[in-house]
Structure 1
Amino acid sequence: MKMRHVRAIAVFGIAVVALTGARGSHGGSCGGGSSSSGSHSSGSNHSDDDGTTGGSSGGSVSGGTGSSNKASRDVTIDECKFDPATKNLVARITIKNDGLMDYDYDVAIKFTGDPGGTVAPATSKATAIAVTAGASQSTELTSPYTGSGDGSEYTKCEVTRVSRS
């Protein structure tokens, strides 16, 4: 093999190592860090005596290990119903803080009907829900019912926004 071939192979090998980062099994990153993205859905649907159901979805959350990414995983919807006594749509949620720090949570809920229905979504927000480290906190979010029926057209609750500080 000629010297220029050896030199060309060495240059090519160095270029490959430089471009891939040569960081062993950890891969490489041009920005010096890593990120992840995905979507998260928590909770489950429950049927109540009045026929309404509850469920939640945290939506898409991108960007690694930020506080808002983890906050959406902490919220579950326990119940979603129409309360005829108060004429309110009610979502009962539980926030479980598995972290090492105390947090205040802000949660937004959307009450909706069947897809393609004529029901206008109703919303509710709760702010500064204090949850200590390793504990759970349950709370209710309500929205006034503005319809003229029995509230049965609202069949689903969905978590639309969660943040913690």
Structure 2
Amino acid sequence: MKMRHVRALAVFGIALVALTGARGSGGGGCDSHSNSGSSSSSSGGGSGSHHDNDDNGTSGGSVSGGSGSANEALRDITIDTCAYDAATKNLTARITVKNDGALDYDYDVTLKFKGTSATPATATTTDIAVAAGASKSADMTTPYPGTGDGSEYTKCEVTRASRS
């Protein structure tokens, strides 16, 4: 074996021991027990939430992933109502955006009307301006894609939200 191979193996061995030792002592590494002082969330868990609306009120769901801006925006939104408006033949929802942050934000929201129909129905609204520490309600509508009475659309779900 040539000297350069011996040196490469020695460096590799030292690096392996150093990394293994560092992970076992709680410093460095990629485990969730590191003491780096960061406030990042654990991976894969439901750190964010979005809201479904059913006939009895609002219930929460989960969003997998980290604590990115989109997940924070989802947590700020609740669905107040979700219904079919026979007068306008539209699916309608009323949402409330609560900004608990220290900054003013503009929110963009996409809402899916869920039902037994195979025809998807979504509504999108943009630029809902909410001051820091305030709440604001917004109505979202989309044309009813069916031919019946709209009763098959019994739930709403915020599928996408962002704030800037």
TM-score of the pair, normalised by structure 2: 0.71
- Structure 1 stretches lacking a partner, 5+ long: 1-13, 48-52
Pick from 75, 98, 106 the counterpart of residue 73 of structure 1.
75
The residue aligned with 2:3 is none
The residue aligned with 1:36 is 42
- Structure 2 stretches lacking a partner, 5+ long: 1-16
CA distance in structure 2 between the partners assigned to 1:46 and 1:159 by the alignment: 13
The residue aligned with 1:60 is 63
Spell out, residue by residue over 1:55-101, the C-alpha distance to the aligned partner (whole angstroms, 9 max, x if none): 4656524224x322211110000000001111100011000000000
For the residue of structure 2 that corresponds to 1:60, the secondary structure is coil
The residue aligned with 2:6 is none
CA distance in structure 1 between the partners assigned to 2:146 and 2:26 by the alignment: 63
The residue aligned with 1:151 is 150
Change (3 A) 1:154 1:108: same
For the residue of structure 2 that corresponds to 1:89, the secondary structure is strand
The residue aligned with 2:163 is 164
Equivalent residues of 2:119, 2:146 under 8 A apart: no
How many residues are aligned here? 141
CA distance in structure 2 between the partners assigned to 1:99 and 1:17 by the alignment: 40
Equivalent residues of 2:49, 2:71 under 8 A apart: no
More off after superposition, 36-45 vs 97-106: 36-45
- 1:136 to partner: Cα distance: 0.3
Q: Say yes or no: does 1:19 pair with 2:23.
A: yes
CA distance in structure 2 between the partners assigned to 1:155 and 1:141 by the alignment: 15
TM-score of the pair, normalised by structure 1: 0.71
CA distance in structure 1 between the partners assigned to 2:53 and 2:39 by the alignment: 37
Amino acid at match of 1:135: A
CA distance in structure 1 between the partners assigned to 2:134 and 2:150 by the alignment: 33
Q: Say yes or no: does 1:89 pair with 2:91.
A: yes
CA distance in structure 1 between the partners assigned to 2:52 and 2:61 by the alignment: 12
Superposition CA RMSD, Å: 3.0
- 1:18 to partner: Cα distance: 2.6
